Every structure is written in structure tokens, then in C-alpha cells.
Homo-oligomer: A and B are copies of this chain.
Amino acid sequence: MAGVTIQHVAQAAGVSPTTVSNLLNGRANQMLPETRQRVEAAIERLGYRPNRAARHLRTGRSRTVGLVVPSVGNPFWGTFARYLEAAALTEGYNVLLCNSERDPDRERRYVEELWSDGVQGVVLCSSLPSLEHVMPLMDRGLQIVAFDRAAQANDADSLVSISIDNAVGSQLATTHLTSLGHRRLAFVSGALGSINRKERYRGFTAALEQAGLSTENTLWPGASGEQFGDVETAELGRRAARELLATDDPPTGIVAINDMCALGVCRGVRDAGLEVAKDVSVVGFDDIVLADLYDPPLTTVRQPMPEMAKAAIAELKSRVEGPGTGQGRSLLLRPELVVRQSSAPPRG
């Protein structure tokens, strides 16, 4: 039996659809206990499940939020998805997970699809500097929380941004190295195209300046002009490390744009016949599961995922359920340095 409807239940219980609906929507108190039991029995017996499409069509509401991530293949996003789902579930929401593959067009199509699916709130993890491709939907009332992307001047008024303070994060990482005594540092990244990357680099240079070190020639030159996926980022790190360590005055400490990249850097260090920590300290960013599993375990900057996920859902919930379109705001959480064994004082 594909289609057990509320009518069938009503008939089986000898009541009207209204009564069944009342029971379904928490108005059970206004009916005789006996009636209630009859209805409940009928629901059970027939295996009735309300049709969400009909329900949604009728009410215009939907207890679902969308989550658009650049790539579910990346553990960072997979982990975030889990936390967001957990946070959503506690608030009575479901999460619809979409994978943009970093394609702006797919991103837009997904958000549009979610909107026309009745989803009123979306957590958008976009690497794009401009969110104008979803502006039309926001104008129509779609609530968007941009995650892992700091607010921009030309963002929509109602946009909520949640991210860590990337500059602080990489400052933490960099200062960790300078405090250990490193004087010659390098920053390894793919193209500094995204806001995050720029911020991380900014934190890196800020920390250097604070330590009285020159920022010249600290950005790995191969970092510009290229765009990399997640796997390629590791390869990039590997190449960067090899090249950097082959120079006259090689760095003793390397700050990588993220953990994938840092893992690659570690590989490159070994390729160069050197040892991570002993010869070259490496610090990553994100604290993916593998950071702790790697050999040596990676010193990295952890994003407070559970808090961020909770905040994202809270924002969405209050805006979707609350009155009117709230003003935009930006929430910058403080990341945390996790010191493991890939960083140590420089040799000699």
C-alpha cells in the first residue's frame, strides 16, 4: 500500500480527518481519550505517515534547513555536517545536505532548489567572495547563514556570517612557532583567492611583525595564480616544501593554509631527506580527524565546530520563526591552537 492517507485513517477509526489531524498536530487534549486511542490504533495498524509534500503545501512551512558545502569528500565539511545535523535535530529541524563541488553555478542551483522545496533557511559554505548569486532569493525571504566566510561590505543586509577569526587563528599558529624560537618562516597556500586565505595570511604576517621578523619572501611564490581542490592541496604542500627546503636559506617553520596542505608539506619535508619537527616545524589549520592520526601528529588550529553549528542553527531558527527579516550580523568565534608533535624548537 503506497498511499495511506489521513482519510483512510479517519475512516478506519470512525472519525473525521480533522480529528486525526488534530491528534497529529498536538491538539490531542481537546478530544476524548477513547477517540484518541482509536485514532492512534488506526495510525499504527495502517502504518500511516503524513505526506510531507501535502503538509508543506498547506502550511507553507518546512522544518528543513539546507546545508551547502564545497565538498562532502572533505572530512572538514563532513564533520561540520554532522555537527550541524545534530544541532538542527535538537531544534526539531532536518538538514538537507548539498554538495556544490565549489562550482558557483551548482551552488546557486542548489540554493534555488532548496528555496523552491520550501526550505526557508540555508547554511551556505561558499568560498566565493561575492554572494550576489543568491541575492534574489534573499530578497524573497530566504534566510542565509554564510559559514566559514567573513562578512563583506557588499553582502546583503540580512546576511548572517559565522566563521572563526582566521587572522587570529593563523596568528596563534605563527606565534607558536616564533615563540619556539623559529626566525625563518614560510606560509604555504594555494592562490590567496578566498577571504579566508587572505585573512590567514594576514594573521601570519601580523605575527611575524609582532615578533620583529621580516615578512619578505615568506609567502611561497608558487601560491599565486592557481586554484586547487582538496586532494591537490596536499600535492601543492608537498611541492612547496620541496622547493622551499632546496633554497639557500630554508625556513625552519612552515604554516600551511590547512591540514591537507600541511600533510603534504610533511611529505615534502621527508622527500627532502629531513624530519618533521626535528628539522622543520609544520603547523596546519582546521584539525581534521587525520591531523591527530598522522605521524607525527599535526600541530594545528582547531575550529570550534559544535559551537559554530549550534550558532548557525540558532540564527536560522530565530529568523525563520521570528518576525520580519532580521538585520545581518557577523559572528567570529575564536579558534584554538592544538599543539601536537609536528612543531618543536628549531635545531641548534
Give me the interface of A with B, judged by CB distance under 8 Å: 1-2, 47, 49-54, 56-57, 62, 71-75, 77-79, 81-82, 85, 94, 96-99, 101, 112-113, 115-118, 136, 140-141, 230-231, 234, 260, 263-264, 266-267, 270, 289-290, 293-295
Q: Are A82 and B78 in touch, CB under 8 angstroms? A: no
For A116, give its contact among B49, B82, B290 (CB under 8 Å): B49
For A78, give its contact among B57, B74, B98 (CB under 8 Å): B74
Classify the interface of chain A: helix, strand, loop or mixed: helix
Considering the chains assembled together, what is the distance between the CA atoms of A78 and B79 in angstroms?
10
For A75, give its contact among B51, B78, B112 (CB under 8 Å): B78
Q: Are A289 and B50 in touch, CB under 8 angstroms? A: no
Question: What residues on B are CB-neighbors of A1 within 8 Å?
Answer: 140
**Closest CB in chain B relative to A234 CB, distance in Å:** 5
Q: Could you pull out 5 A-B pairs where Cβ atoms are within 8 angstroms? A: A49-B112, A72-B72, A73-B75, A73-B78, A75-B75
Q: Are B140 and A52 in touch, CB under 8 angstroms? A: no
Q: A47-B136, A140-B2 are in contact. Are A85 and B57 (CB under 8 A)?
A: no
Q: Are A52 and B295 in touch, CB under 8 angstroms? A: no
Q: Are B52 and A118 in touch, CB under 8 angstroms? A: yes
Q: Which 10 A-B pairs have the closest CB atoms?
A: A49-B116, A97-B97, A72-B78, A53-B56, A53-B57, A73-B78, A53-B53, A2-B141, A78-B78, A73-B79
**Closest CB in chain B relative to A297 CB, distance in Å:** 9
Considering the chains assembled together, what is the distance between the CA atoms of A80 and B56 in angstroms?
30
Give A267's nearest chain B residue, CB to CB. Answer: B295
Q: A290-B290, A295-B295 are in contact. Are A116 and B50 (CB under 8 A)?
A: yes
Question: What residues on B are CB-neighbors of A113 within 8 Å?
Answer: 52, 94
Considering the chains assembled together, what is the distance between the CA atoms of A52 and B112 in angstroms?
11
Give A270's nearest chain B residue, CB to CB. Answer: B295
**Closest CB in chain B relative to A44 CB, distance in Å:** 11
Q: Are B2 and A231 in touch, CB under 8 angstroms? A: no
Give A260's nearest chain B residue, CB to CB. Answer: B293
**Closest CB in chain B relative to A58 CB, distance in Å:** 9
**Closest CB in chain B relative to A45 CB, distance in Å:** 12
Q: Are A99 and B72 in touch, CB under 8 angstroms? A: no
**Closest CB in chain B relative to A239 CB, distance in Å:** 13
Q: Are A289 and B57 in touch, CB under 8 angstroms? A: no
Question: What residues on B are CB-neighbors of A50 within 8 Å?
Answer: 116
Considering the chains assembled together, what is the distance between the CA atoms of A75 and B141 in angstroms?
34
Considering the chains assembled together, what is the distance between the CA atoms of A267 and B291 in angstroms?
13
Question: What residues on B are CB-neighbors of A294 within 8 Å?
Answer: 294
Considering the chains assembled together, what is the distance between the CA atoms of A231 and B74 in angstroms?
15
Give A59's nearest chain B residue, CB to CB. Answer: B53
Give A96's nearest chain B residue, CB to CB. Answer: B96
Q: Are B51 and A118 in touch, CB under 8 angstroms? A: yes
**Closest CB in chain B relative to A81 CB, distance in Å:** 5
Q: Are A47 and B79 in touch, CB under 8 angstroms? A: no
Question: What residues on B are CB-neighbors of A77 within 8 Å?
Answer: 78
For A293, give its contact among B54, B78, B141, B263 (CB under 8 Å): B263
Q: Are B81 and A51 in touch, CB under 8 angstroms? A: no
